[in-house]
Structure 1
Amino acid sequence: EEMQGRNIGMLMPEPHRSQHDHYIRRYLETGVRRIIGMRRELTAHHRDGTPIELELSVAEGIAGGQQYFIGFTHDITARNRAERESRLHLSHLAHATRIHAMDELASTLAHEIRQPLTAVHTTAQAALIQIDGGKRVPEEIEGHLAQITQQARRASQIIDQLRRFLRRDDPQDLSDHHPSVLVEGVLLLLTHRMQSLGAEAHRSYNAAECRVQVNRTQIEQVIYNLMDNALDAMESVDGPRVLAVATCLSGRNGYCEISIQDTGPGIPDEHMGDLFTPYFTTKDRGMGLGLPLCRSIVENHGGQLTAENRPSGGAAFRVSLPILPGVRHR
């Protein structure tokens, strides 16, 4: 009764309230549909002015020569709140699993940082000895300084990557990246472990122009978990230990794929159906949350995570992510 004879714009927040009549007039003049026949989410107002999240669909009809517009609304406030809480919970869980991996990462950090810092110290000492000895060999000293700069930069990159991996992320913090850059950042963290296992990384980046919009911290965690699992699987292998990583345009139109493959024993058939089940694990120290968490993160990005056994032996995990809209890809 309060609405009878009043402009429906009163239910809308600005700027839609003042523009509502213009929207209707434009449709009547052009016939171009922007809302009619479609569903969209928007914010409306209760009587007291508090916001309410709605799903709106609008239909039109003609009766007695009069044109009518009919709006159907569904209150999705509770649903959206639950989705936001779910994303926040996922972020907290992801951060907890990264902290759980600190023991291995701390070992990696200690070893990886020690190497470039030792090189920096040794090279600087050599340069000082030459200077103290009165030798005028600027070419050699220049080479020493270049080596110091290179190794110091490498140490800085390792520290920056580790800090980014361990930070508490904002689920809404999205940025544009080439998948190969994300892969390389994770490989940097796993260098020492791969060396200790005698494993090699084979790279194949065939999607140079393929860009995705993702939460970098979360997707790097997915890549890290999958690579870490691959290295675990190859620990008992007597033959070659190869971690094959590739990026390419996916067979799914509009998606980019990151594949991580190993030369381990593969996934037992009886375990294939349980891989992504929470708390299922075959590791003595495993929590059974790594792969379910990875799948949730990828699906929250609108992507897909799948697993299969390679015909030649070993397992293959494939992460498909939507390509950044508005970017042309070859």
Structure 2
Amino acid sequence: MHWKNNSLEGFWKRQCLLLILVQISLLTICWQFGLVQGKPLLNIVTISCLVTWVGVTIWIFYRIITQVKSSYLRSTFQLESCRNQDFSQQAKAHFSAGVVGQFHHQLNNLSNDLLTSKESENKDSILLLRLVKQLNTPILVFDERLQLSFGNQACGALFDKPWQTLRFTTAARLGLEHLPDWHFKDEKNQQRWQVRHSNFNHNGHTYHLLVMTDIQIALREQELKAWQRLIRVISHEIRNSLTPVSTMLERLKHRATSERDSAAFEVIVERCQHLAEFVKRYAQLQQSVTVKAYEQPFERVCTELTSLFPQANWHLEGQHLQLYCDATLLKQVLINLTKNALEACTDRPQLTLSLKLKNQSATISLTDNGHGLSNPDNLFVPFYSTKERGEGIGLMLCQHLTEQMNGQLLLMNRTDGHRGACAVISLTQPTS
């Protein structure tokens, strides 16, 4: 029974037994025909027996060699698949027991372990790739020839087109230089973007990883924090002074004996209220903002905005499109911008609100026919305002809210030959 097991050893023993039985049978035949008794050797029976014996011996050894070779050839094919990172291919063992069977079993276990490890690595790679794609920081990967190999979604805002259309483009054509350190050749981009560089190896090749950091956003965040600290101190001092002053004014106003004194007290009370409102509005910059973005029709935003300002003579474009945004924050920004636009229009106001989607980016434009911008450089500076009673907070708050939505707000004069200004809000859209 031991010889019937499916192993190379059992197969060898069975073939040897078969060879012994054949030899015994041939010797018995030769004995019967008188080979051992001294009869003539060269007869047909003797020659046939010898030929049969040699043929059976060769056939048995050929079978042994073929089976052994076949077993290891299957292992060779499986190892070749493993070398090519294909761990799903497993050779079926001809011998399920014995040394060869154990070898195949261990080889299959190794393939299964490598397959599990590869699947886990692929899952981690997919998760990392999805994370990189969703980052708002542009990330570029260049190969050894300094050609673009990979980019994330944020590269669309950097180059104004999807990175897939720029694949295999050289770094020089993208405006980048790698000596002595990676940097932009264009002075404007160099002042805005900080380039961080590192190398990594993959499949025997070296790649260059570039991470772009928008310095302007970081500077504005630091500037905003500084203003918040200043506003916190000023608000505290002003409120401490306004409270007793307002109380005394209310008492003195009732004691006024002349209209001139009453009018003076009214002016003082009105200016105290204005100062309190001024402090209250600037305190909005210290409030934390929670962004709740979801996809919704842009028509909903347009409807609410036009109902609030029916005097604007609206012209709407792209209201049928879907927009991924925080509707509450976006409407607050558009309301502030619309108020500024209407105040800038001395004649019959004409406002245009449009939405365009391109390369995972949404561009919302609000255009007016007012007098335009007289000093664009100081638009987002706190306490700066061209209005007679402006606090210099509206545009800075709009910029702050837009950046909290991972967007960008730009204000410029119209470039289509007409008088007026244009506010452009750019929001990143998730990949579908």
Interval of TM-score (by shorter of Structure 1 and Structure 2): 0.3 to 0.5
Bigger-Rg structure (1/2):
2
Give the TM-score normalised by the residue count of structure 2.
0.35
Give the structure with the larger helix fraction. Answer: 2
The structure showing larger relative contact order (alpha-carbon pairs under 8 Å, at least 6 residues apart) is: 1
Give the TM-score normalised by the residue count of structure 1.
0.44
